Amino acid sequence: MEQLVDRLAAHWQLGPWGQELLAAAAILGVAALVFVVALTYAGVITWIERRVAGRTQSRIGPNRVGPFGFLQWLADGIKMILKEDVIPAQADRPMFRLAPYAVMLGVFSAFVTVPFGSLLIGADLNVGVLFLLAITSLVVVGVLMAGWASNNKWSLLGGIRSAAQIVSYELPAGLAVMVVVLGAGSLSLQDIIRAQGGAPWNWFVFRDPFCLVAFFLYFTAAVAEGNRTPFDLPEAESELVAGYNTEYSGIRFGGFFLGEFANVYLLSAIATSLFLGGWQIPGVTPAAQADSVLLQLAGFAVFFAKAWALVFVVIWLRWTLPRLRVDQLMGLCYRYLIPLAFVCLLGTSALLLLVTPGSGADLALRLGTTALGGAGLLAFAWRVRHHIRRVGDRVSLDVLQRGARGVFDPALQARRYGAFRRGQEER
């Protein structure tokens, strides 16, 4: 972006003040674009989660607003904007108002450093990883502000729980990220992606067994930081009545809601960049990819597919695993994840000293780890197939399409209503 601003300033023969204004306008434009992209991703993820939840619970899910209910997230956003914004009488009003914006700022600002492609990045910072770890800490501030300002004991308990959880799980997540930083020798996300390759055995997740374990450590810790099931203790419905956002309504509640779902894509995108090769295309060098618009679009498609696959896994976990107790939640972090993260960090450091990059031993280590990961993935896929066949589940697109078409078919709607009335009368 700096090069583009310099070229435009030279072309238009702008003075020092003109260059500064042009740079400020470019920064605001990029910030607005990143915000719109993050907001759109968050909305689409809400629709995907409902569809996955429907399949998990043997129902259709949203299918009334748009094809397959795809526009449901827009309808929900409009509803939240139109709902009344209620502030409790005894709440700290300024802090109560600011809390959702702090959460959104902590999540959405991190999208600036996410490398969607070789050139599709808001800001390629040489300390990108450090920026991510720092800016996402604002979420803790926003959650604590919401819990304290609500003047509600359940909200306060939820805020304290969330702060303790996020701060605790930042430790194993940071240590797992350090494993990748050691291998790449840089804190820049773009440099970390360039240090990998397009083929799976060149990804950092399959660099060695310690990196493979570090990937699962980071993914687990990132899911816990985002308050996603099975780690959603701060907003446990049965205990704290939604936790720190109990007193929020309307678009302020939507701020927390969007921050959580945007964080689902953010953690998936960061995991893709650090461990899964990012936008790298097999057989194509980063220099060749940067020189071709088509290859850049292909790289964006590769990154898109990897990140959304991880998003699906995060949603899948929510509708599969039960919620942990608070003692189990903290015990998992301090008894298992942090010690394992230290082991991975020390093991990777030792391998960097003992194994020369590009040597036969390095290639054998990569291929062996790739085979191990592939075998685990195949075993998992076999178990999923076994359970699907055992329960007799079948995917019927005809049912889904009929449900989508029924919204625009008055005759079908009348027949459905008539059948419903007859059923009521028979009962």
User: For residue 157, how far is the Cα from the chain centroid?
Assistant: 25
Is pLDDT of 398 > 60?
Answer: no
- pLDDT tens figures, 120-173: 887 888 888 999 988 888 888 888 888 899 888 888 888 888 888 888 899 999
- pLDDT score recorded for residue 303: 93
Question: Who's near 311: CB < 8 A, 6+ residues apart?
Answer: 45, 48, 264, 265, 268
Residue 300 neighbours by CB under 8 Å, 6+ apart: 116, 117, 120, 279
Q: Can you give the length of the chain in residues?
A: 427
Task: Let me know: does 154 contact 240? Beta carbons within 8 Å.
Answer: yes
Write down the pLDDT at residue 416: 62
Alpha helices in 13-152 (DSSP H): 16-56, 72-82, 93-108, 128-135, 138-149
| pLDDT score, position 106 | 87
- The per-residue pLDDT for range 177-215, each reduced to its tens digit, is 999 999 898 899 999 999 998 889 999 999 999 999 999
Kind and range of the H or E run holding 304: helix 293-318
Asked if pLDDT for residue 283 goes beyond 50, the answer is yes
**Model pTM score:** 0.85
Which residues, in sequence order, are CB contacts of 382 under 8 Å at separation 6+?
Answer: none
Q: Which of 78, 37, 62 is nearest to 307 (CA)?
A: 37
Average pLDDT over residues 108-114: 88
Average pLDDT over residues 59-68: 84
In this predicted structure, the answer to whether residue 397 has a pLDDT above a threshold of 60 is: no
Q: What is the pLDDT of residue 372?
A: 92
Average pLDDT, the chain: 84
Count CA atoms closer than 13 A to 200's CA, side-chain side: 10
The predicted-structure confidence for 13-28, as pLDDT tens digits, reads as follows 777 777 777 777 777 8
pLDDT attached to residue 5: 62
Strands (E) in 182-328, as ranges, are none
**Angle 311-316-222 from CA coordinates, rounded to 5°:** 50
Quick one: pLDDT at residue 404?
A: 47
Return the minimum-mean-pLDDT range out of 90-94, 219-223, 225-229, 316-320: 225-229
Please name which of 156, 138, 139 lies closest in space to residue 147, comparing C-alpha atoms: 156
- Neighbouring CB atoms inside 10 A of 176's CB total 28
Structure confidence at residue 203 (pLDDT) = 92
- Among 281, 273, 272, residue whose Cα is nearest residue 198: 281
Q: Which residues fall within 8 angstroms of residue 278, CB to CB, at 6 or more apart? A: 115, 189, 192, 193, 196, 272, 303, 306
